[in-house]
Amino acid sequence: MPDVRSDADCRRLIARLEKPVYRGCFTVIYAYGLRIAEAVTLPVTAVDSKQMVIRVIGKRNKERILPLTESILDMLREVWKTHRSKKWLFPSRRIITHLPDATARTAFNKARSECGFDDKFRPHSLRHSFATHMLQRGVDIRIIQILLGHSSIRSTEIYTHLNEPLREDLRQLLRQTTDGLFEGRRPSHG
């Protein structure tokens, strides 16, 4: 089962990241359900403020074009002002290379510890949480598949696991469907 955290926990961890580059990187991961490798390698040119999209290169070099919100665009501009890299949205300290995956993970793990979360909460948990929260909000699974960059719907279906809110919704639906179903009937033997 994927590790899924509440929206409040995801936001709390991200807010705990001190450096704007780290906080921006993990904000984008959670806001779009990106893989860490997709986020740390985002070039400045991935952001198209005219079309209001962000272009992400995923597995097998497949591009996905995701809608950009004003708040994410504003955040990315603020982060960029802290480093002014011509190439990378989230550069390393040297500015000429992108933020290393291991460095981002170290920052995440430090924030996780400071928040008191267990070590099952990993950067990929933000991706799982994004997908699950979208599903809980009623977003069609095919849209989630596109957002995550899954080539097969079967990869996306892991997010249809029955977590407690979905289980309770199902319980209520089953009650409505089955209440009174067997009233006044005797089982037949034969």
Q: Which CATH code, of 2.60.40.10, 1.10.3720.10, 1.10.443.10, 3.40.640.10, is assigned to 7-127?
A: 1.10.443.10
pTM of the predicted protein model: 0.82
Q: Give the integer Cα–Cα distance in Å for 156 and 12.
A: 26
Residue 154 annotated to the active site? no
Residue 128: active-site member: no
User: Considering 35, 98, 112, 128, which one is annotated as catalytic?
Assistant: 35
pLDDT tens series, the chain, 190 aa: 789 999 999 999 999 999 999 999 999 999 999 999 999 999 999 999 999 999 999 888 888 999 999 999 999 999 999 999 999 999 999 889 999 999 999 999 999 999 999 999 999 999 999 998 988 888 888 888 888 887 777 777 667 664 555 556 656 667 666 665 555 545 556 5
CA distance 144 to 146: 5
Catalytic one among 5, 127, 128, 133? 127
The one catalytic residue among 11, 59, 62, 167: 59
Nearest CA to 35 out of 98, 123, 108 is that of 123
How many CB atoms sit inside 10 A of residue 64's CB? 17
In angstroms, the Cα distances linking 171 to 82, 132, 176 are: 50, 19, 9
Question: Could you tell me if 15 and 135 are in contact, meaning their C-beta atoms sit under 8 angstroms apart?
Answer: no
